[in-house]
A and B are shown apart, each in its own frame.
Chain A
């Protein structure tokens, strides 16, 4: 038992911080995030005990967390903030040309741009539709590769790549709109 516990802790510990960050994105409150992490670890530990010869990887932990979040959302037991999306809804909602130009951002100094992002990026991210926000969160907060994201979402890598491209374009469009509406525009130097 001690050896198994050692192995489990050795496997999980490097991913713990990222798992907690993801839990904070899936759950609405800090308490629910702590519970989501705990429930994830508990379920992983039970399965780890039963199949100790299996090859484990961090995407497996994220799949468990996502399934729990999905269950909670269905049962309305907790308020889930980042909606996990059903497989049926994972097909791209509209065709999009990956070579479309990015929305032009108003020209502003590097310092202004960073300040603007720090103030408005969360707002723009929150406004993304759930399938798009989730790939961004899994990639950035979870530090998962596209292949790992595809394992978590159970879809092809190409779908992740396409959804990521669209997510980032939409994010950029929203940022551009916000920047203009709030007067962040600076005249571009000739």
Chain B
């Protein structure tokens, strides 16, 4: 077996998927080729790492709970279907929400009145969850284009929002396209980017005066912005005309600032 062939079969060899003859050939090659043997050792360690993070690290993945699930379907335990558990969870959720509303009524006014923010705020949380969802789904864009005018035009047609999709400020920023959705029944426009290869989204939505309430106001690059963090993600927002623009990604604030549209009318003043 040559080194060329060894590399071809290396992963299957480590996964014990080669037939006996090829496996013996591979073993013989490794005995005399230190370079390939080193590659095998690295890949073997990576395979062990995968086992640690996908199997060993999940060892609490509940043998008892799984066994109980099995016995439920065979009628040997209390039958609670997933749908039933959803209803129960929903009821618990409603109760918790009611409690939260009471708590907010008692303490919220005072809390917001002294200038603190709820962190992570509702808007940032929504931004991050939506962002993660579409990244995980692999469906970042509905309209793929690197042309900011084409994306702006598509978003105008689909959302009726006159969005100013910023073009890439430099070669490290790539515009990938646009996407639309609704938040509380209001159309929202998305532009998907990659900043140095890392995905990021810019969201534009109508400014109802409340969107940014849960975020921290800060002055960045001499202009008023709003910032929040949630689940390892950063959200940076600004007001431009009648729209709020917010950028999200697993990136520092200064990187996301690069997606903010040009500040043609500095009207933010005091948040």
Q: Do A and B bind each other?
A: yes
Q: Report the minimum CB–CB distance from A72 to chain B (whole Å).
A: 11
Would you call A41 and B69 a contact (CB within 8 A)? yes
Contact partner of B43 among A39, A42, A102, A136, CB < 8 A?
Answer: A102
Would you call A136 and B71 a contact (CB within 8 A)? no
Complex Cα–Cα for A41 and B71 (A): 10
The stretch among B49-57, B106-114, B156-164 that forms the contact with chain A is B49-57
Contact partner of B7 among A17, A31, A102, A121, CB < 8 A?
Answer: A102
Question: Which B residues are CB-close (under 8 A) to A8?
Answer: 74
Would you call A175 and B46 a contact (CB within 8 A)? yes
B82 at interface (Cβ–Cβ under 8 A)?
yes
Interface residues of A toward B: which range? 35 or more
Chain A 1-38 per-residue mask, 1 if CB under 8 angstroms from chain B, else 0: 10001001100110011011100110010010011011
Would you call A165 and B12 a contact (CB within 8 A)? yes
Question: Which A residues are CB-close (under 8 A) to B10?
Answer: 102
Question: Which A residues are CB-close (under 8 A) to B75?
Answer: 1, 5
Closest Cβ neighbor of A44 among chain B residues: B73
Chain A 147-179 per-residue mask, 1 if CB under 8 angstroms from chain B, else 0: 000000000000001001100100110010000
Would you call B54 and A118 a contact (CB within 8 A)? no
Complex Cα–Cα for A100 and B66 (A): 42
Q: Report the minimum CB–CB distance from B187 to chain A (whole Å).
A: 18
Complex Cα–Cα for A136 and B75 (A): 34
Q: Report the minimum CB–CB distance from B179 to chain A (whole Å).
A: 15
Would you call B45 and A113 a contact (CB within 8 A)? yes
B211 at interface (Cβ–Cβ under 8 A)?
no
Chain B 78-104 per-residue mask, 1 if CB under 8 angstroms from chain A, else 0: 000110011001000000000000000
Contact partner of B67 among A13, A21, A81, A110, CB < 8 A?
Answer: A13
Q: Report the minimum CB–CB distance from B93 to chain A (whole Å).
A: 11
B31 at interface (Cβ–Cβ under 8 A)?
no
Complex Cα–Cα for A34 and B70 (A): 11
A70 at interface (Cβ–Cβ under 8 A)?
no
Complex Cα–Cα for A6 and B10 (A): 42
Would you call A83 and B137 a contact (CB within 8 A)? yes
Would you call B74 and A45 a contact (CB within 8 A)? yes
Question: Which B residues are CB-close (under 8 A) to A83?
Answer: 136-138
Contact partner of B70 among A12, A80, A122, A164, CB < 8 A?
Answer: A12
Chain B residues near A (Cβ < 8 Å): 4-5, 7-8, 10-12, 15, 17, 39, 42-43, 45-47, 49-55, 58, 61-63, 65-67, 69-76, 81-82, 85-86, 89, 133, 136-138
Known: A42-B73, A79-B133. 12 other contacts (CB 8 A): A21-B54, A21-B61, A34-B69, A73-B137, A81-B136, A83-B138, A122-B53, A130-B138, A168-B11, A168-B43, A168-B46, A175-B46
Chain A residues near B (Cβ < 8 Å): 1, 5, 8-9, 12-13, 16-17, 19-21, 24-25, 28, 31, 34-35, 37-39, 41-42, 44-45, 73, 79-81, 83, 98-102, 105, 110, 113-114, 117-118, 121-122, 125, 129-130, 136-137, 139-141, 145-146, 161, 164-165, 168, 171-172, 175
In the assembled complex, 15 residue pairs joining A and B whose CB atoms fall closer than 8 Å, in A order, are: A1-B75, A16-B70, A17-B61, A21-B61, A24-B61, A31-B89, A38-B72, A99-B7, A102-B42, A125-B53, A146-B15, A161-B11, A164-B11, A165-B11, A175-B46
